[in-house]
Structure 1
Amino acid sequence: MGRPMAANLVAAGHRLVVHRDTPAARELLGTNVRYAVSAADATRASDVVVLMLPDTPDVEVVMRGDDGVLSALQPGTLVIDMSSISPAAERELAERVGRAGGHYLDAPVSGGEIGAREGTLSIMVGGDPETVDWARPILDVLGSRVSHVGAVGAGQVAKIANQILVGVTIEAVAEALRLVEAADVDPVAVHSALMGGFASSRVLEVHGPRMIKGEFEPGFRIRLHRKDLGLAVEAATQLDVALPTASMVHQLMNAAVAAGLADRDHSALRLVLDGSRP
């Protein structure tokens, strides 16, 4: 998702230093950006550092490694982490940036690769209001809805909540369509009927047809959604709250990964109900 987000920032007139230099980055960004040899190199050249990485360990390596962001952070630099990671890890990184004289926001996103390409992401931001205002010219390029939800870490909590709702709804749509097809009723007709009623949702609209057609090219990969629900289960343990349905869907995503579906779209959770493999 970082590549199309970078392309949108370039198109909006921002000057970018990008780490890493890869064929995919070159194909999309060409010579419109400068390619850094390390995260530290990119940080030295920038007033604002934006991270978009898969998981908590990836962010920690890029931030805390020998050639990481913290090794080169200048006072006054703003770090915006748009990854989806542990809220506790986010707060700890924010403290380190603050001690180095920098500013920090966590700003995870929802909307997938389509939203990244079209600049229509929903962005959930945690941090000081003044810092959020400072980041608005960047965030408004990347998303169509930017919501300040609280202090650093609150953005990650909001993203976890988002992923619970999406994951549980995907499973509900999968179960509903499994029943429809087992009853030998036209799933296309039922999908159309459901879209006109109280059961209508964005998940049903987008993922229902994928499940009916058996087309599961990602979008958003099961392995990444499993990671996000893992963060939900971890947070629930820390906070002593019960998340029984989210935990069940997390286990179904474990089953999907075990079945070889890790890099299929998260709507391929439907295949687990069929006992299917890729």
Structure 2
Amino acid sequence: MRIGFVGLGVMGRPMARNLIAAGHDLSLYRDKGELEGHQCSSAAEAAERSEVIILMLPDTPDVEAALFGVDGVAESLKPGSLVIDMSSVSPSATKTFARRIEEQGCDYLDAPVSGGEVGAVQASLTIMAGGRPEAFERARPLFKILGKNITRIGDVGAGQTAKVANQIVVGLTIEAVAEALLFAEAAGADPAIVRAALMGGFASSRVLEVHGERMINESYEPGFRIRLHRKDLSLAVQAAAELDLALPNTAATQQLMNAAIADGDGDLDHSALHKTLRRNRS
């Protein structure tokens, strides 16, 4: 396929690289010249050259600007094109974006991912999609290049809803593991041995395995930055307000991430919440 790829950052670059390796023709915007493909001067140029446009951007305003800003994707879309937003952004804004794109005779999928940079590099991402079944089937061959666990959740916006739910689970579990290991340390037990023991019981999880080790080793090089995870939990808190829904522990973990960012740790891995809790011990 002729694919326009907008957003070649930590996640987007390895994803684009995997599509190129699979034989697809990519037009790239926001690349640093590291990938084989046509280097575009704007998102509009990438869209003009492509039948499928993929966006992988940090936040909702970035996606809106790439789609509808000056020299944005919408300026050059051809009828029948497919826009796939793989960023993690607002579910309600996603529905608005999709409606505007569909008015141009095009299809729209929201397809955020989970798995971090490692998953992007290894093409093992979990992909949660929202949109028409026909659009999903059209995109499925591309998704199979990028990930392993690929699910159409429902209509447009449902993929973003699933991603927010994923980030609630991950964020709260990281916070719980951080508290548990900090408690073990404060009580005089070796947190590494405690973690090993817990790995054999009902508390075992991927977060305890990976992030628990990072906490013990104080190794906080980012796989997924606190700043970005805070953005996702902010989406959850915002959506909860719109739904008149109480998410008290999500809100508390968002506030802990606020504290981490205030302490200058926003670009550390989200496992560094352990560092934030330790710093704020009374």
Q: TM-score range by the shorter chain?
A: over 0.9
1:184 Cα deviation (Å)? 1.7
Equivalent position SS for 1:16: strand
Equivalent-residue separation in structure 1 for 2:138 and 2:113 (angstroms) = 18
Matching residue within 123, 127, 131 for 2:127: 123
1:13 Cα deviation (Å)? 1.0
Show the counterpart of 2:114: 110
Equivalent-residue separation in structure 1 for 2:156 and 2:226 (angstroms) = 27
Offset from partner CA, 1:22-66 (integer Å, 9 cap, x none): 2xxx33x1xx21111100000000000000000000000000111
Show the counterpart of 1:5: 15
RMSD, aligned CA: 0.8
Unmatched 5+ stretches in structure 2: 1-10
Equivalent-residue separation in structure 1 for 2:142 and 2:95 (angstroms) = 22
Show the counterpart of 1:243: 247
Matching residue within 12, 32, 38 for 1:34: 38
Identity of paired residues, percent? 60
Matching residue within 113, 132, 157 for 2:136: 132
- After superposition, residues 15-26 of structure 1 pair within 5 angstroms as 15-22=25-32, 26=33
Counterpart AA for 2:206: R
1:142 Cα deviation (Å)? 0.7
Matching residue within 252, 257, 261 for 1:253: 257
1:21 Cα deviation (Å)? 3.7
Show the counterpart of 1:57: 61
Equivalent-residue separation in structure 2 for 1:246 and 1:93 (angstroms) = 26
1:189 Cα deviation (Å)? 1.1
Equivalent-residue separation in structure 1 for 2:261 and 2:145 (angstroms) = 34
- The alignment status of 1:201 with 2:211, answered yes or no, reads no
Equivalent position SS for 1:104: strand
Unmatched 5+ stretches in structure 1: none
Equivalent-residue separation in structure 1 for 2:188 and 2:148 (angstroms) = 41
1:238 Cα deviation (Å)? 0.2
Equivalent position SS for 2:168: helix
Q: Looking at secondary structure, tell me which structure has more helix per residue.
A: 1
Counterpart AA for 2:30: R
Show the counterpart of 2:222: 218
Equivalent position SS for 2:70: coil
1:185 Cα deviation (Å)? 1.0
Offset from partner CA, 1:224-256 (integer Å, 9 cap, x none): 000000000000000001000000000000000
Equivalent-residue separation in structure 2 for 1:267 and 1:187 (angstroms) = 15
Counterpart AA for 2:177: V
Equivalent-residue separation in structure 2 for 1:20 and 1:266 (angstroms) = 26
1:20 Cα deviation (Å)? 1.8
Show the counterpart of 1:101: 105
Show the counterpart of 2:279: 275
Counterpart AA for 2:148: S
Q: Which contiguous aligned blocks of 4+ residues in structure 1 show a shift greater than 4 angstroms?
A: none
Offset from partner CA, 1:162-200 (integer Å, 9 cap, x none): 000000000000000001111121111111111110000
Aligned length: 270
Counterpart AA for 2:22: A
